[in-house]
Amino acid sequence: MKKILILIIIISIALTGFSQNQPFKIGEKINYNIYYNIGFIWMNAGEVYFKVHNKTVQEADYYHYKSYGRTISSYDWFYKVRDTYESIASKETLLPHAYSRNTSEGGFAVNNRYIFSYKNKKIYSNIENSKQTQKKDTLELKNNTYDPLSMIYYARSIDFSKYKIGEKIPIRLLMSNEIFDLYIRYLGEEKIKDRNNKEYDCIKFSAMLVEGSIFSRGENMFVWVTNDEKKIPVVIEAKILVGSIKAYLN
């Protein structure tokens, strides 16, 4: 199962409706179980963790987000995943200042680093993977650009009550040294059950995906987040080229 974290990366993302009432705090920890489906078979394939720390840089305090994803040991023989993502973001605006991706998926390793310079309006990248030696690059920093991890926490501050059912919400996302203009579509309120049949009152939306090795471009992801001040993703479901994937809040 390639890119196990992609299910969580595009959850609850938007570029408008930001509220200063941040729903998370230093020390928060959340984790998910990942299931892969092909035909009538569902397999418990992996797990993903998210943590919020404090980071002090030149006497200024920032959020330090960290996420770790892995396939469970019984699944490693098929496709071993060990992914770590980290992001440093402003406590006031939630905009990212640094982002890193250190991943190993099926033996393919990626080690990417990004620095966001708001003074110069540039993103400085350092890209390296199993097929490419170290490469430095510079991107234009567009307004309201988030990395995948900082986007998650920014999104949880979105006031979805400002949107109508079916309305599109634009998103701007840095992934793999490119900036993508995408969107999510608000689908209203709905009750959803987790793997233990616990029921949650949720907000539901679909997400526009970037075409890649396992996803086709389109609204092929559906997300349910708690309809409260925390807006924690409870269930994420996505169609892939072969089968589908679900993530459940653990």
Under 8 Å between Cβ of 171 and 148: no
Place of tokens 């049949």: 197
- Dig out the tokens for 143 from the structure: 């307004």
Greatest alpha-carbon pair distance for the chain in Å reads: 55
How many whole angstroms separate alpha carbon 37 and alpha carbon 79? Answer: 15
238: three-class secondary structure by DSSP: strand
pLDDT (tens digit per residue) in 111-139 = 999 999 999 999 999 999 999 899 999 99
Q: pLDDT tens, 156-185?
A: 777 888 899 999 888 888 988 999 888 878
H helix or E strand, kind and range, residue 6? helix 6-9
Per-residue pLDDT of 179-212, as tens digits, reads 988 887 889 999 999 888 999 999 998 877 665 5
Q: Fill in the amino acid letter for 37.
A: N
